[in-house]
Amino acid sequence: MTRRRHLSLPRALLCGAGAVILLLALAQLVLPRIAESRIRSRLDPYGEVHRVHVSAWPAIELLWGDADSAQVRAGELALSTTRAATLLHEAKGISRISFTAAGIRLGKLRLTGATLDKHGNALTAAGIVSGGDLRAALPPGVTLRLLASRAGKVTVRVSGALFGLGASLDAVGEASSGRIVVHPQGPLLGVLSLTLYSDPRVYVVGLSAVPVKTAAAPAYRVGLTALLR
C-alpha cells in the first residue's frame, strides 16, 4: 500500500504539470484571438477595419491588458480627437502598435495614408492633408499656406478672419504643455493664441509639416510626436 502511494505522487505531479501546459497552450491560441476581436469591436463603430493581429508571450498577460505588439489595418475611419485619445489610452499596455488607415477623419480634419506607431509610451503619427481637406477644416473665408517646419514647430501664413483680424498674417503652430496651440507672430500679437487640441492622456511634444506633390492639388504631410500618459 505504501509503495503504491509513493508511485501515485509522481504520477499526480506529472498529470498536474501536463494540465498546466495544456491550459497555457490553449491560452496562447485563444487569448490573442479574443484580444483581436475586442480591438476590432472597439474600432468597428468608426469605419472599416480590415485586419487586426495581436502578439503576446505569454498570452496570459492579455488578461491584464498587456501585449507585446498589435497591428491594425483600416480603411476609412471617422472619430473625434477625444475618442481617439480614449482608444489610445486603452491600448497603453501594448508595447508596440503599428496602425495604418487609408483615410481617417479626426473632427473636421481628414488625412489620407494615416499611420501611427507606438513604442512604449512614445507615439508618432502622420498623414497627408490635401488642399481640399484643409479648406474644409478651416473656418469659411480662411486660407492657410505652409512657410516652414522645424524644431517641432510649423509656421504658416493665414489669410482671412482669424483672431478677430481680417488680414494676412504669419502664425506658428506648436506643442505647449502637451497641447497644440497656434499663435500669430508680431510684436503686438504674441498674447493671442488658439488651442487646437488638448487632452492630458496624449501629451503632444512636436509637430511637423512638409509639402508633397500630388496629381490633383497641393498637399501636406503632417505629423506629430507625443507621449501616452
Inter-residue contact 154 to 172 (CB < 8 Å): yes
- Closest of 11, 8, 12, 73 to residue 43, by C-alpha: 73
For residue 188, the model assigns a pLDDT of: 57
For residue 197, the model assigns a pLDDT of: 92
Residue 216 pLDDT > 90: no
pLDDT tens, 60-114? Answer: 777 778 889 999 999 999 999 999 999 999 999 999 999 999 999 999 999 999 9
CA distances from 223 to 3, 38, 114, 152, 154 (A): 73, 28, 10, 10, 10
Check residues 191 and 27 and name the one with the higher pLDDT: 191
Inter-residue contact 208 to 224 (CB < 8 Å): yes
Which runs of E-coded beta strand occur in the chain? Answer: 47-55, 67-79, 94-106, 109-119, 122-130, 143-150, 153-162, 165-176, 179-184, 194-197, 202-212, 219-228
The torsion of the CA quartet 164, 170, 175, 180, rounded to 10 degrees, works out to 40
Cα–Cα dist 49/101, whole Å? 9
Cα–Cα dist 51/29, whole Å? 18
> Quick check: pTM over 0.85?
no
pLDDT tens, 165-184? Answer: 567 888 899 999 999 998 88
Name the grid cell of 229: 500618459
Alpha helical stretches, state H, the chain: 2-43, 81-90, 131-137
Backbone angles phi, psi at 92, to 5 degrees: -60, -30
Q: What is the mean pLDDT of the chain?
A: 85
CA distances from 168 to 3, 59, 153, 159 (A): 96, 57, 20, 4
Name the grid cell of 136: 474644409
For residue 167, the model assigns a pLDDT of: 74
For residue 182, the model assigns a pLDDT of: 87
> In which band, very low, low, confident or very high, does the pLDDT at 1 lie, cut at 50, 70 and 90?
very low
pLDDT tens, 111-151? Answer: 999 999 999 999 999 999 998 898 898 888 888 889 999 99
Task: State which amino acid sits at residue 203.
Answer: Y
**Domain parsing of the chain, residue ranges:** 2-228
> In which band, very low, low, confident or very high, does the pLDDT at 222 lie, cut at 50, 70 and 90?
very high
